[in-house]
A = this chain, B = another copy of it.
């Protein structure tokens, strides 16, 4: 039996627990051993939850328990998520995460620590929800040279732009609709500004090119300036508007990153990526274009990516590489 701890029992953390309980046998078969949730660390009161006996508020309990070999970090934000992850790795535990803030800011450090301690630091769920893009880059394309990455990586802005296009809504109307459906947060600034998509393209670029670039150094244009006129002009040209995050490596090895709204031709597969779906297109030397498409958010879609990493950590898959810093 492999004992794990879940840190953070929000939308994704509870989705992971639900998936692990619901698919216990299937996951045990895939992992080669039963996965047991020994602890769930959250400060809130879950005393009426079916898993109530697993809850602890003190991370030290998990850190000090040698039976826990995998920690799934789904707290979000930089602190204490980063500190807990590093401490877990230094205590010889593998860490899997859905936390794009930590991976984009400290992924290189945590990979280095994991490599030194012979454990895994896996981050499939930090980009693109259910889109298995990290595994595609790290495993399926391990022998290939990726030249360019283009992605629709933020479901909130993609929903807003699609509704402005198909229903002629203003941005304010589309945002309100998205908020009422739970597709946008009350404070959607990081989505609207492109900051969320920026962190994700930094992570994808690091996976593909081996170099982590600080998200503060990336030129970002959000969707604030997109109006109904922008959309109808694009329509007149056989296009639709999408917030595109892009990373490319040129022949000389230099890496360029950017996030901005772009007109996408309707016969481009990216044009039909609607709602909360995310998509990533890779241009790969000698292989050509590849595209990956799935739900970019939501408890259970994102949990599928976390659970795949838990299974890999259980099989002692080590971190594929340690990123350097730009």
Contacts and interface: CB of A to CB of B under 8 A. Distances in A.
A142 interface: yes
Interface string A132-173: 100110011111110000000000000000000000000000
A188 interface: no
A61 interface: no
A86 interface: no
Given A19-B286, A287-B300, A290-B130, A30 B311 contact: no
Interface stretch (A2-10, A74-82, A198-206, A265-273): A265-273
A279 B29 CA distance: 28
Contacts of A124: 140
Interface stretch (A39-47, A106-114, A218-226, A302-310): A302-310
Interface in A303-326: 303-305, 307-308, 310-312, 320-321
B295 A293 contact: no
Interface residues of A, number: 51
A141 B294 CA distance: 12
Contacts of A132: 136, 139-141, 290
A51 interface: no
A136 B128 CA distance: 14
A49 interface: no
Contacts of A142: 26-27, 30-31, 307-308, 311
Given A19-B143, A130-B290, A139-B308, 16 more contacts: A23-B143, A26-B145, A130-B284, A130-B288, A132-B136, A139-B311, A139-B312, A143-B311, A144-B307, A269-B269, A269-B273, A269-B293, A287-B301, A287-B304, A288-B298, A293-B293
